[in-house]
Every structure is written in structure tokens, then in C-alpha cells.
Amino acid sequence: MKLHAPSIPLFNIDPYFSVWSNQDKLYAGNPVHRIGTPNNIWGIVTVDGEEYRFLGKTLCPRPRDFDNPIPQTGMEIDACSTTVFYENEAIRLKAVFTSPMLVEDLYYASRPVTYLKLSYESVDEKEHSVKARLTVSEDLVLDKAGDSRVWSENLSLREGDCVRLGSGNQKVLWRSGDGVRIDWGYLYLAAKGKAKVGNCIQKDLYCVYAETELASEALFALAYDDIDSIMYFGKPLKAYWKKDGKTIEDAIDEALAEYDTLFAKCTAFSDKMRAEAIAKGSENYADLLQLVYRQVMAAHKLVVDEDGNNLYISKECASNGCAATVDVTYPSAPMYLKYNPKLLAAMLRPVLRYARTDAWKFDFAPHDVGQYPLLNGQVYGMDKGDRCIHFQMPVEECGNMLILFAVLGEAENDYALAKDNIDLIEQWSKYLIQYGEDPENQLCTDDFAGHLAHNCNLTLKAIMGIAGYAKILKALGRTEEADEMMKTAKKYADSFLVRAANEDGSFRLALDRPDTFSLKYNAVWDKLWKTNLFPESFYKGETVRYRKEALTFGVPLDSREMYTKSDWSHWVSCFGDKDDFRFFTDLMHKAYSTMRQGSRMPMTDWYYADTALMRGFKHRSVQGGLFFKLLLD
């Protein structure tokens, strides 16, 4: 990978259990949670009695030689693993951090076990006595270190030795929020085979450790049992991996036993992804997909409801913490359409259930179903009383839902979910037909940019939503109605092309704002579906304007600001030819390779196109949108 990652994925499972390094050298600082707060973990390798750090920076007074790092010589990142190389005068060490969240397999997409495998070879051709020690601090089981008393317990498993760590004050699913971290459940640290496990104090932090002989290699596993994962309309739900009665001890034993086989599967999946990304795009494009994959997966939680339905709950990370957000599902959908549409269906189910409750009183689609991990109904804007309508996204979410139903049915060649919910689909299509041609002053998914009347992207969203409804009707055998809906979509598209046109062949930010521009990302479905609602001249005019507006690290989202959005930038990169695609991809690759001071976080989707500095969002699942190119012929 040529991309100089802004943040290094290490142990990545879900929105709570997500550990990264914001240092190029893993021993130059301590690992952090995805939001940047401490997740202190230390890795020590002892060679012939002398200790060297390979992960984390020591924080407590120890003998001077303890603070010696073993020099890091290289790093490779693929979809599931981060491999780090070290070397001193005695040994050459390799550390492989693997989170085997295989999207095509629901069990592995859910199981909360992640690995660190260490191996070494002699550099000086001498035999060496080598041990490895991994130490994990209390701040992985608390919102903030010191919030509560923690305790640990040693366990003996079939495949190795283990220690678990947890808060003494267990209140499961008791609060929600964006920057709030988990303080219930238990962290497990295990080592395959015979190991020494226990607890210790490191810089006033209660810690647990596992130490084992490194007889050419050693395998550690970190796991987190959150007990209950999601509160769903007043009922606690367990993670998918527990559905057959499996315990966390069973899962860890299984993980330790199957590491080699599972690692091979992860490598094969990653290699296939990379090869296809290079073939359809470029090596830079492949780098972006490889880096973002674990981030997208770890922004979700897979659970099972009381009726046995799978629910795949997103967390709107580093935004407002909303759960099952429709306009977060929408941009993330391409990755799941490519690899496992069943997970996209599992994202839609909570929205559909909520839309049928008495609590949702509107004739348009909801924005979210709660604040993670509490899904008890929409929170976004709902505390505004009579003004809550001002904070809704009616055209946005109706269009999103209709498009998602259409692409899901097409991907699975099965429109059963759409058929079962055709009444809601029809209701939302009527809203788009009535208000979508020229939307009033309302929010869109780019709500951070403020309200905007006559928003061209909302018009495009409505057009593609109506076209999606037409595709659903046709699949359900309602051909005449489908034809009428597609005629409506075409009528609105033709009207848009006239009313939104700039003199230079591009199209406006808003219908009443001549000479402005914006990234027209919603039109990308016309490309995928080959519905030909927009002529090639539309895509050509837009692409020419984007190239003209481009800054050092990307094309701004629209005329108002210097910032851009990576998901939307990628979607419009699909408008042109391969050279146009590479133009956008190379700018994005350069941006992420440049992000340093203040921006060293899991891949932000919102950054300044002139400086590559992060504007706000980080670790969001919307980066699944970067997989759109893989959906195209």
C-alpha cells in the first residue's frame, strides 16, 4: 500500500471496541479509541532478557532499558490485517493485527474476537530466548479511566490461558451518545497455549496482561462480550454470534483453534478486493478500499430481534451518535451491495418497524431509529417540539429508502422486502412526486452545510427515488404503473436539465442560483441502472466543471465552502472515463496520505480540499460508498 494512512487499524470490531494508532511508529504513542481517547495497550518483546517495546509508549517509571523500542522497519495494510515489521541486531519481528470481519459470512461479521500474531526469525544466526507480553488497561472497559472500580479474573480455556477485565458497576445498555464509550461487559485477553496471565498497575491504571514464550510465533486474542448489544424498542437484543447459545469462552477457543484457516480466508478476500479495484480503477483506488473496509464494518453491530430477524445497526460515529440513520445507510450501501446485500436488508428493517409505529406521525420516511445503542425511536430533531419538522429531511429520506429498496431487490433478485412494505413505498413515492421536482427549504444529508431551498441534489434524489419505485413496480409485475412512474421520473429529469443549467454546461447548486456548482452524486444511480434519465452531456458538463473547481486534495462539495466529502467525490468520479476516475481518486489518495496534525483519525469523510485537514467526521460507515465503482460494468 502506497497510502500513508492517517490512522492505523489495530483491533476493530464494533463502535465500542475499536482500537487504532495515530502514530506512524506503533511504539511512538499509545493506541486510541476511534474517537481519539486513550485505549492504552502495550506490547513488549523480551529478547535474551532485554525488553523492547513494539506497541504503545511506556507511561510509568521503569529501568531505562525498558523504554527501548525495537525499530519499526515497515508496515502493510490490507482489508482485514495490519502487518508491522521490526528489526534489531538480534531478531526480525513481525506483528499481524487481524480483525476477521468477513462481510460475506454473518457469523464472522459479528464475532467480537480479534487477533495479534507475533513471529520472529534470528538476524545474527544465533539462538535467542524470546517472550512476548501484551498488557491492556482499564480504559477499554470504562468511558474514562478511573470512572469505576474494575476487576479481573484468570480463566483457563481449552486452547490457552485467558484473563477477563470489567467494571465492578455493570449497568448494561444504560446510556447513549456519540463520544460515550462502553462501561459494561467484559474484555478478554487470551494467548494460545501455555501463558502467564494476571493483573498489574501501569501508570495508575489497572491492567491485565498475557505473557507467553515466543517459540518462533505466538498468538494473542482480544475479545469483548457486551452482554446485550442493542436496546430495541424497550427490549435488549443480543449479538448475532450468540444466537445459537455460544458463549464468549467458546468463541475465543474457536478463534484460537482456527486462526490459520481464517487468516487465509481473510487474505484471499482482501487479495480479491484489491485485484478488482486495480482492474476497475487503479492501485490508489485499491489502497483506499483496503484501508476503509475495517472502519466501515466496525461502525455497525449485527443483532437478532425477538422474531429472529437480523438487524444491522449503524452508529453515526463522530456526528451525533444516531443509530440506523437512513442517510448514513444510503452512502454506505455500495459495499454491502457488492459483498452481502442481506446486511443492507438488515439495515432497513429497524427503519421500517419504526415508520409503522404511532410515534412516527409523518407521511415521509424517518431519519433514524434512536441514538446508539438505544433504538427506541428517532432522536434527530425530535426534541424541538412544534419545530421538529424544520429538522427533518423528507425528500432526502424518502428518496434514499426508495433507491435502497430498488438496488437491494436488484442485487438479490428478490423484491420480497419491497413487496412486504409496498404501502410505505407508495406513500413515500407520493411525497416525492408532490414535493421532489422543486423541493422547499429543507435539509438534505449534507445538513452540516445548512438548509437550502430548490436544492438540485434533492431534486436529483427525488428523480432517482421515483425511478427506483418504477423498477420495484416492474419487478412486482405492475408494468403499466411502472411505466407511468418512469415517465414521471423522465419528465422531472428533463425539467431539471432546463431549470438547473449553467451557461458552461454544468448544473447549479440550487435551481435559483446561476453559476454555482455542486457534486451531483445522486445521479450516479442513473449510471448503475442505465435508465438514461440524463444524457451523457450532463455527466460531461459536470465532470468538466469539477476538474475546473478542483483544489490540491479534492473538489469542494459545492460553491459555498472549501470542504469536500469523500463518498460523494467518489460517486461523481464514476460519471466520466477512467482518466476522470483516476483524477478524483488520486486527489483523495493524496489527501489521506497527507493528513497529519489534528487529522490523524480513522478516515474522515469530511475534509478541506485545499489543506486536507479534517473538518469534522471520522470513522463513519459512509465510506462504504467508496465501493461504488465495483458495482459498475
**Are residues 197 and 161 in contact, defined by beta-carbon separation less than 8 angstroms?**
yes
Bridge partner list, 551: 554
Question: Looking at residue 66, what is its pLDDT?
Answer: 52
d(CA 311, CA 397): 19
Phi, psi of 186 (to 5 degrees): -135, 135
Higher model confidence: residue 447 or residue 457? 457
Report strand pairing: 205-213 vs 130-137.
antiparallel
Bridge partner list, 254: none
Question: Among candidates 1, 45, 37, which has minimal Cα distance to 19?
Answer: 37
Question: What ranges do the domains of the chain cover?
Answer: 8-267, 309-631
pLDDT in tens, 124-144: 999 999 999 999 999 999 999
- Counting DSSP H helices and E strands in the chain, the numbers are 15, 23
d(CA 299, CA 302): 10
- Widest Cα–Cα separation across the chain: 81
What's the grid cell of residue 74?
515497515
Q: Cα 277 to chain center, whole Å? A: 18
pLDDT band at 61 (very low <50, low <70, confident <90, very high): very low
pLDDT beyond 60 at 554:
yes
- Coil, strand or helix: which one is 110? helix
**Are residues 210 and 176 in contact, defined by beta-carbon separation less than 8 angstroms?**
no
CB neighbour class for 12 (10 Å; exposed up to 12, middle 13-18, buried from 19) = buried
Calculate mean pLDDT across residues 352-373: 97
Question: Looking at residue 65, what is its pLDDT?
Answer: 42
pLDDT in tens, 151-208: 999 999 999 999 999 999 999 999 999 999 999 999 999 999 999 999 999 888 999 9
d(CA 328, CA 251): 30
What's the grid cell of residue 255?
478463534
pLDDT beyond 50 at 496:
yes
d(CA 4, CA 348): 35
Position 4, amino acid: H
d(CA 131, CA 153): 23
Question: Looking at residue 451, what is its pLDDT?
Answer: 83
What would the CATH number be for the domain defined by 8-267?
2.70.98
d(CA 514, CA 507): 8
Cα end-to-end span (Å), the chain: 25
CB neighbour class for 244 (10 Å; exposed up to 12, middle 13-18, buried from 19) = exposed
What's the grid cell of residue 582?
483516476
pLDDT band at 63 (very low <50, low <70, confident <90, very high): very low
What's the grid cell of residue 42?
502495550
**Are residues 35 and 48 in contact, defined by beta-carbon separation less than 8 angstroms?**
no
pLDDT beyond 90 at 386:
no
The number of CA neighbours under 13 Å toward the Cβ of 296 is 29
CATH topology identical between 8-267 and 309-631: no
Is the pTM of the predicted complex or chain greater than 0.75?
yes
Question: Looking at residue 101, what is its pLDDT?
Answer: 97
pLDDT band at 64 (very low <50, low <70, confident <90, very high): very low
pLDDT band at 59 (very low <50, low <70, confident <90, very high): low
Question: Looking at residue 2, what is its pLDDT?
Answer: 83
Phi, psi of 404 (to 5 degrees): -65, -40
Question: Among candidates 606, 535, 544, which has minimal Cα distance to 579?
Answer: 544
Calculate mean pLDDT across residues 492-515: 97
The number of CA neighbours under 13 Å toward the Cβ of 565 is 24
Fold observed for domain 309-631: Glycosyltransferase (1.50.10)
What ranges make up the beta strands (E) of 48-128? 50-55, 72-77, 81-87, 91-98, 113-122
The chain-wide mean pLDDT, for the chain, equals 95
Question: Looking at residue 51, what is its pLDDT?
Answer: 94
pLDDT beyond 90 at 354:
yes
Question: Looking at residue 414, what is its pLDDT?
Answer: 97
DSSP 442: B
